[in-house]
Amino acid sequence: MAERKPTKSKSLPKGAAKKPVKKTTGTTAGKAALKAVRRSAVSSAGRGGEGSGPKKTGSRKPATRNGSKPRKKTERSRRSRFFLGTLKWSVIAGIWGAVALSVVVAWYAYDLPDINKLDVPARKASVTLTDADGREITTYGDIYGDPLRLADVPPYLVQAIVATEDRRFFGHLGFDPVALVRAVVANVRAGRVRQGGSTLTQQLAKNVFLKPDRTLRRKVQELLLAFWLEANFTKEQIFTLYINRVYLGSGTFGVDAAARRYFGKSARNVSLHEAAVLAGLLKAPSRYSPLRSRKAAEDRARVVLGTMVAAGFLDPPTAKRAAAQRLRLAAGTKRSNAARYFTDWALERVAGFAGRRGIDLIVRTTMDARLQRLAEQRLRATLAKNGKARRVSQAALVSMSPDGAVRALVGGRDYGTSQYNRAFQAQRQPGSAFKLFVYLAAMENGLTPDDQFIDGPLRIGKWKPRNYGGTFLGSVTMREAAARSINTVAVQVSERVGRGKVIDAARRLGITSPLKSHPSLALGASEVSLVELTAAYGVIANGGVAVWPHGISEIRERGGRVLYRRTDGAAAQVVDPVAVQRVNDLLRAVVSWGSGKAANLNRPAAGKTGTSQDFRDAWFVGYTGELVTGVWMGNDDNSSMKRVTGGSLPARLWRDFMIPALDGVAARPLAPIVQVPSPSGAGDKADRASPVPWWRRGGSSETTDQEYNKGD
């Protein structure tokens, strides 16, 4: 049988679609496969890719099974894939974001404070100081009033705080994005920080748990704690905690403590105007404190009343009437800053008597309020009148009773400008005021006020002491040498008695500062404080009994229990009464006719002038039977004054203070003094004929007290 040759199939025209061959026979599975191929071809053509389906052969587009266009289906497919991709990456980003947020929260939360101690306020114990009569002077530390509930305070106090600090407090969950955006916009417009976006809950978290550091860590922790507070407490509880803990200036924490401090009443009873003042303190407690500026407090209260009107809590007429009221402060709250020099000095000694206790204390001091005010006024007046012309910028004054109880202490011209206490912190050269110890050592070692010395050129090694003006008087008594503040005689006395005995006399009278054993010791080359030098003169004023300067008479707890009370025990006699009488003789001559005659009170008084080299320090320390007072003048930079000696401005300030201080007080005599003979060279005919003794007419307070400490 011949083999049959295959016939060649005719090729289709170019571009014509190949028609499927219709089979008359086949199975159902074959039909399904065919349909699958067709669908695959159509799908492949729609994608434009290469596949198992037939290729395009022309511009004609194959029709799909349902007759729809391929482009629309492609767009739906793309959108579907985009949506699924976006959803997938969103989920992934959300997961990683949650992980990152958890890490950040853990990082800032690991050192959060113990939130279980919310009910235990962390506070410093307060110390209230009173004067000798029990009137309050000032309070240091933290002051808390009664713990109040929300129902205890007037509604307008709550409204004033909410309107001022957090108008949406009762609606947010601890964080107010609206307030934050509003604060940011206001600050950007103003070009500086004018508003804050913190809620009351955030402020409570900061006040109770955190430090006021302006750091990102503190802000994040503040927000975390705010969320915790909102989750664990009601709004009423949060607000109650806030008003009992918030700082309102002058050491007060909570609205009740502030109301008692400023208005002398509980926060339960404050008026609308007083409530506005308290709410106004929240922005800047120190700036708007009524104790600092009544006007600033009243102006701020008007702003608060305006915000209450804007919030719908007040009608304008009511706010206007409240704003017109005059602020009335509690009695005794307005005091001079200068008294702070005294209270700072007294406060440093509280721990030594009562220990460091975490309880509120009331300390009764020895301060006489009248003398304190008088000292402040006279010191400022003297500097205002003469300070600029004489180039003296600072002064200090200490006044105490002869037993050492400090009645007044002013450590500088203005406490608000400088808190440096020149009365007990400054160490300055006392000049001739130190000669008290030189002459005391002489009296204790057999010398008398009438013993003669030669005022002339003197050399000790390479050191030469000189008198003011370089002049010498020749033979003089020790009385005249002390009265005229003659340097050469003081050095001779010190060297004759022995510097060791001079230093011993100073120690017995209470000088604790270091003293150099140099010939210039007699001229006050070693530095001392005004408090210790004044107390040393007090030993002579009280007849030779030891003096310890003190400013505290009693310390008790706020509940009344006495922790310390000063009692007058047996006092040690540190100077022989005969030596006291002889030193009184010398120092009375200084005030009567010598270098300190500008301090004459026309009543028994004694004292000594002192001027350091180049007029850097000027002193006058003196006493009567009732008061011992010391005055220092100079400049903090140790620059020279314009010829200010101890016998000039300091002596006049001493007199200006002592005369009104002793007004109405009966004069006490000093220790009896020996008979005063006429010193050498004073008994000429003119003096004998004059009805006024020569010692009442001689000496110059301006030119006889300059000290020369060359070679020290």
What angle do helix axes 155-165 and 200-209 make, rounded to 10 degrees? Answer: 90
Contact 409, 398 (CB under 8 A): yes
Selecting among 432, 485, 612, 701, the annotated active-site residue is 432
Amino acid at 95: I
Question: In this structure, how many other beta carbons lie within 10 angstroms of the beta carbon of residue 114?
Answer: 8
The rounded distance, in Å, linking the Cα atoms of 63 and 60 is 9
Question: In this structure, how many other beta carbons lie within 10 angstroms of the beta carbon of residue 382?
Answer: 22
The rounded distance, in Å, linking the Cα atoms of 140 and 290 is 17
Dihedral sign of CA atoms 475, 480, 484, 485 in order: positive
Element (H, E) at 129: strand 127-130
| Residues contacting residue 185 through CB under 8 Å, at least 6 positions apart | none
Q: Which two tokens stand for residue 397?
A: 């004054």
SS3 35: helix
Residue 93, class by beta-carbon neighbours within 10 Å (0-12 exposed, 13-18 middle, 19+ buried)? exposed
Dihedral sign of CA atoms 351, 355, 358, 360 in order: negative
The rounded distance, in Å, linking the Cα atoms of 625 and 402 is 7
The rounded distance, in Å, linking the Cα atoms of 165 and 304 is 10
The rounded distance, in Å, linking the Cα atoms of 630 and 393 is 18
Q: Is 348 a known active-site residue?
A: no
What angle do helix axes 235-245 and 155-165 make, rounded to 10 degrees? Answer: 90
Q: Which two tokens stand for residue 425?
A: 């912190």
DSSP single-letter state for residue 552: E
Q: Which two tokens stand for residue 277?
A: 């003042």
Selecting among 126, 165, 222, 485, the annotated active-site residue is 165
Q: Is 40 a known active-site residue?
A: no
CA angle 405, 363, 368 (to 5 degrees): 40
573: β partners: 545
Q: Which two tokens stand for residue 659?
A: 């005369």
- State the alpha helices, DSSP H only, in 562-690: 577-592, 649-661, 685-689
The rounded distance, in Å, linking the Cα atoms of 268 and 467 is 71
Element (H, E) at 295: helix 294-310
Which residues does the annotation mark as catalytic?
Answer: 165, 432
